[in-house]
Structure 1
Amino acid sequence: MNISSTSNSSSSSSDEEIIVLLNEERRRKRRRFWVHPIVTRREEHGEFYRLVQELKMYHERFRGYFRMSVSEFENLLQQLAPLLTKEQTHYRKPIDPEQRLAVCLRFLSTGDSYRSIAFSFRLGVSTVASIVSETCDALWHCLRDEHLPVPTEEMWRSTARRFHERWNFPNCLGAMDGKHIFIQAPANSGSLYFNYKGTFSVVLLALVDADYRFLVVDVGSYGSNSDGGIFANSVLGKALRNGTLNVPPPSELPGAPELGKVNHVIVADEAFPLKPYLLRPYPGRRLPTDKRIFNYRLSRARRISENVFGILSQRFRVFQRTLQVQPSVVDKVVKAACALCNYLRPNGNDQNRATEDDHDCEQPLQGFEHCRGQRASVEAQNVRELYKEYFNSPAGEVAWQYDHVNHALGNR
């Protein structure tokens, strides 16, 4: 009995010692400053108050720093200011909208960590994190209605007209592609974001027009999902399947009334299934000439989507790194970057702009795996056959297509 009492008392005293040690460690870890002295000297030495203000006098340097001109920055700030203005309190002066926009754009244009940006701008790391998230939300809210609106029938017709003028592909509503945005493995996510290449990612599915602008974006699918499943479950895929995307009715191909009225279509690569509204190339390597010509003409129009992703990753270098943020923030960053790309396109001064004779822009975003084992409907196959006949007819052929196909065949 005495032994048991001694054991209990010694156990109790050891527990008390552990509690005391834990309390002492907590006291040691308490913040030494309410606001760190380095942060309090932000206006004297911070990057925004010194370097950024100097860059405004050197427009080329400013463009290299923010990936946009001074006038584009100021116009954007004017639109965002009401959403980024914070209430003044007795505790500290709020960070003004211009500095918030500068921090967010610097994150997008470099992909630097929150900690690096916090040191440069003399801000707290958590402050930078909240600024990036809130400013990306504001960018999407302000820009989406004007630069990424819900497509109307007239917009589709205009897009189809531009594809015919620039890329000799009539009745084309856009080029579609999907890319994996690399992210750090989220905590407790298992294999949800683990893709077929052995990395973690979320998927950006995009439809683009003939002038390198985003028409529709869908972001947030798990990297582990199959390519066909991602498209089928996306907002874009569902709208196309249900016929709720204001797509124009079938119309005749220019100069070929004998083919009848043909569906308006979207062009894509082998990663997507063949549908009556979605064209993909003929599979195989040893194809007859007419099918190789169709594949060439389809590829010529479809590569616009690859170029747009190249422009996106070259302008915003955050996509050349593995994003060290939560998936919910990744979605905000991607949507804001797509809206900004469209915002910066109208002036036609994009240094990364691709031309008809350019190769695809080099970009690190990982594409979809090629689609296998999906049986196309007879209707979808018939639509593709009609386009093949058109591209091999006097009404739809282009002078250089035979030389290109024969040259590619000779290089094999």
Structure 2
Amino acid sequence: MKFDFRVPHNTISLCVREVCQAIINEYKDECLQCPITQVEWREISAEFCRKWNMPHACGALDGKHIACRRPRNSGSLYYNYKGFFSIMLMGLVDADYKFLWIDVGGYGHMSDSQIFNASELKECLEDSSIGFPAADPLPNDEIPTSYFILGDDAFGLCTYLMKPYSQRQMTKEQRIFNYRVSRSRRIVENAFGIMAQSWQILFTTMQQEPETIAIIVETF
């Protein structure tokens, strides 16, 4: 870009950050809307049931490592278990691969559960401030069952977060349940893949500072 516009690279770096921040300020509330009423959550749950045969699921949750160069004087804060430096992107996705909520900028050494436990989303689920639906019966059943978001083994099981069985010897019903959960939760991994294909800089090691990377990724 510095050759296209004949502007020094240090000025370009400031422009990129300012433009990305302006895009976030203008469009974030329009493009990234987390449900806040029971009606909105139930609509998402109905789509999961219709498309993925997973009733009462209100979203799929997972984290993604965004590779970056080693930040100065950071020690091992950004060094993840995969063997490279990164910041964390965590996202909640609906049945149509649309992001409902994101948290970007966590240290690479942190696990998905650590990011989630420190997030605003968990706080809101705990204090019921985002209108998560009350329990009601599953199809063809009479026992009230909680609504939940889907996660993998990295998360802790609770009333509002469902994960697969982790034991080895499972019954037929448990294997079917694991298949349903895994197939529905895969939506969030597919959403990350779609985002990376659209913005292929995510396949590389980003050279900016972590704070700037977080702004750029949030713009995507």
TM-score range (shorter-chain normalised) is: over 0.9
2:107 is aligned with 1:228: no
For residue 165 of structure 1, what is the aligned residue in structure 2?
Answer: 50
5+ residue gaps in structure 2?
none
Partner amino acid, structure 2, of 1:299: S
For residue 326 of structure 1, what is the aligned residue in structure 2?
Answer: 209
Aligned equivalents of 2:48, 2:163: Cα separation in 1:
17
User: If the length of structure 2 is used for normalisation, what is the TM-score?
Assistant: 0.95
Once the two structures are TM-superposed, the CA of residue 149 in structure 1 deviates from its matched residue by 2.3
Once the two structures are TM-superposed, the CA of residue 238 in structure 1 deviates from its matched residue by 2.2
For residue 317 of structure 1, what is the aligned residue in structure 2?
Answer: 200
Once the two structures are TM-superposed, the CA of residue 254 in structure 1 deviates from its matched residue by 1.8
Aligned equivalents of 1:249, 1:311: Cα separation in 2:
33
Kept in 1, the 8 Å contact 2:79–2:85? The answer is yes
| Structure 1 ranges of 4+ moved more than 4 A | none
- State the Cα RMSD in Å: 1.3
Please point out which of 166, 174, 179 is paired with 2:59: 174
Aligned equivalents of 1:317, 1:282: Cα separation in 2:
34
2:195 is aligned with 1:307: no
Alignment of 1:118-137 (within 5 A): 118-137=2-21
Superimposed CA distance per residue, residues 227-281 of structure 1 (whole angstroms, 9 cap, x where no aligned partner): 3222111122222223222211112212222xx2111100111111111110111
2:25 is aligned with 1:141: yes
Question: Secondary structure at 2:7's aligned position in 1?
Answer: coil
2:152 is aligned with 1:269: yes
Percent identity (aligned)? 42
Which is higher, the Rg of structure 1 or of structure 2?
1
Kept in 1, the 8 Å contact 2:62–2:112? The answer is no
Aligned equivalents of 2:111, 2:91: Cα separation in 1:
16
Once the two structures are TM-superposed, the CA of residue 163 in structure 1 deviates from its matched residue by 0.8
For residue 80 of structure 2, what is the aligned residue in structure 1?
Answer: 195
Superimposed CA distance per residue, residues 202-244 of structure 1 (whole angstroms, 9 cap, x where no aligned partner): 1111100000100010111111123322211112222222322
Residues 327-336 or 190-199, more deviating: 190-199
Aligned equivalents of 1:120, 1:246: Cα separation in 2:
49
Aligned equivalents of 1:293, 1:152: Cα separation in 2:
31
For residue 345 of structure 1, what is the aligned residue in structure 2?
Answer: none
Alignment of 1:144-155 (within 5 A): 144-153=28-37, 154-155=39-40
Superimposed CA distance per residue, residues 7-43 of structure 1 (whole angstroms, 9 cap, x where no aligned partner): xxxxxxxxxxxxxxxxxxxxxxxxxxxxxxxxxxxxx
Q: Quick check: which one's strand share is greater?
A: 2
Residues 294-303 or 122-131, more deviating: 122-131
2:180 is aligned with 1:297: yes
- Aligned CA distance change for structure 1 residues 127 and 330 (closer, same or farther; 3 Å): same
Superimposed CA distance per residue, residues 105-158 of structure 1 (whole angstroms, 9 cap, x where no aligned partner): xxxxxxxxxxxx322443221222112101111111111111112422132121
2:137 is aligned with 1:252: yes
Partner amino acid, structure 1, of 2:19: T
